[in-house]
Structure 1
Amino acid sequence: MTQNVSRETLDRLTCYAALVRQWNPRINLVAPSTLAQLEARHIDDSMQIAQHADPGDGVWADLGSGGGLPGLILAAIYADRPARFCLVESDQRKAAFLRTAIREMGLPNATVIARRIEAVDPLNAADISVRALAPLPCLMPYMEMHLATQGQAWLMKGENWRQEVSEARKLWRFDLDHFPSRTHPAAAILKISGVSHV
């Protein structure tokens, strides 16, 4: 966790890391092979979004939150902002972990919805974050459903992101900015807005 963060944020992230290591043997929050590199591989990776986003007082929806990456990390970083973090995770065991982490990390700005993304009422989110959930064409209906008109989505994508964008553009219109990942050279953070069906 190399970025310059406050002592309070660092304490929350340290708490998160301890919880993941405690729960991971029972619930697969991150791949066991990556647990030893939890901070660099997962936490620092998720923190990258904060270099580009500037949330206001709207809803930040983290879709398919899993073990809370990047949702819990961003909620910790933005704990002093008015943004309300909504973590959507249908796996009940992972949702239980997320609720425990929210309590232990002291994040009153975060809540959990333990339902499938498509079963959740439209969230009208100012920001959406997604990491390691599905290819971009499969994510676009979620963006259309849950993103506010002037909102933006922050999608952490792997080395095939350009191909995914090309596939998505066959059925969807959207504005795109992309930022190189600092933890995976060929990966990128995609900023998507203005989503509509072709």
Structure 2
Amino acid sequence: MESLTPRQSDALEAFTRAVETSPHNLVSKLARSELRTRHIPESVAFARGLPAGAQRLLDIGSGGGFPGLVVAIVRPEYEIHLLDSTRKKADFLRDAAARLGLAVTVHNGRAEDLARGELAASFDLVTARAVASLERLIPWTLPFLRPGGVLHAIKGERWSEELAAAEPVVRRYGARVVATPNDADTAAADTDGGPSPLVVRIARPPI
């Protein structure tokens, strides 16, 4: 995929400064110190690895905007929705999106509740980064997906243990693991040499 445009680079820098200077506890002290070396580059690589073409995407547990706002900057062809249960984080996301000129929709509430409303079964993609174990995450996210839609979960080094523990939940939903970090195409190569995310992809069954 092509390198970032100057406008995208400027937007990422402005977003980074917004997180760094926010009075709210959006990310941990350690995460704040690693914004430029880890969290921004990883989110950019993740955005680059998402499917081509216009997609309707929901980022669950968006928090300080990782990866949702970064995806909105890097993949402007997507229709982006962000969800967080904490009001101050949802307010930050709305304000940051407005300042950056990003056309995103922010939802404040619990995923379990919102998945029973008008957002149910309405997204091609659902993304989540450091939200919960796969065993808990799957029931929160799959109801938002259209039949055949795919959850893209950014996980840590113990992703394989999480996936093994989640096997009963995957079977219960009739879902299918379509890719793991062991697959060569799961993590996009970052042309800037930054870290690539560990992504587990789980598809909701088609009709």
Inter-partner Cα distance in structure 1 for 2:31 and 2:131 = 17
Inter-partner Cα distance in structure 1 for 2:95 and 2:29 = 20
Inter-partner Cα distance in structure 1 for 2:140 and 2:73 = 24
Aligned to 2:155: 157
Given the alignment of the two structures, is residue 63 of structure 1 paired with residue 83 of structure 2, yes or no?
Answer: no
| Distance change (3 Å), C-alpha of 1:140 and 1:34 | closer
Provide the secondary structure at the position in 1 that maps to 2:19. helix
Q: Which amino acid aligns with 1:46?
A: S
Structure 1: 5+ residue stretches without partners: none
Inter-partner Cα distance in structure 2 for 1:54 and 1:158 = 22
Inter-partner Cα distance in structure 1 for 2:45 and 2:181 = 10
Inter-partner Cα distance in structure 1 for 2:73 and 2:52 = 13
Aligned to 2:20: 21
Q: Which amino acid aligns with 2:100?
A: M
Supply the RMSD in Å over aligned alpha carbons.
2.0
Aligned to 1:75: 72
Please tell me whether the aligned partners of residues 179 and 188 of structure 1 are also in contact (alpha carbons under 8 angstroms): yes
How does 1:86-165 map onto structure 2 within 5 Å?
A: 86-108=81-103, 110-120=104-114, 121=117, 122-165=120-163
Q: How far has the Cα of 1:71 moved from its partner?
A: 0.2
Inter-partner Cα distance in structure 1 for 2:157 and 2:4 = 28
Runs of 4+ with deviation above 4 angstroms: none
Aligned to 1:12: 11
| Distance change (3 Å), C-alpha of 1:65 and 1:123 | farther
Q: Which amino acid aligns with 2:181?
A: F
Provide the secondary structure at the position in 1 that maps to 2:24. coil
Provide the secondary structure at the position in 2 that maps to 1:29. coil
Q: How far has the Cα of 1:47 moved from its partner?
A: 1.4
Greater per-residue strand proportion:
1
Please tell me whether the aligned partners of residues 145 and 204 of structure 2 are also in contact (alpha carbons under 8 angstroms): no
Moved more, 173-182 or 69-78: 173-182
Q: Using CA pairs under 8 Å that are at least 6 residues apart, name the structure with larger relative contact order, 1 or 2.
A: 2
Structure 2: 5+ residue stretches without partners: 188-193
Given the alignment of the two structures, is residue 175 of structure 1 paired with residue 167 of structure 2, yes or no?
Answer: no
Q: Which amino acid aligns with 1:176?
A: V
Give the TM-score of the pair, scaled to structure 1.
Answer: 0.87
| Distance change (3 Å), C-alpha of 1:34 and 1:171 | closer
Given the alignment of the two structures, is residue 31 of structure 1 paired with residue 25 of structure 2, yes or no?
Answer: no
Task: State, as a whole percentage, how many aligned pairs show the same letter.
Answer: 28
Figure out how many residues of one structure are paired with residues of the other and give that number.
Answer: 187
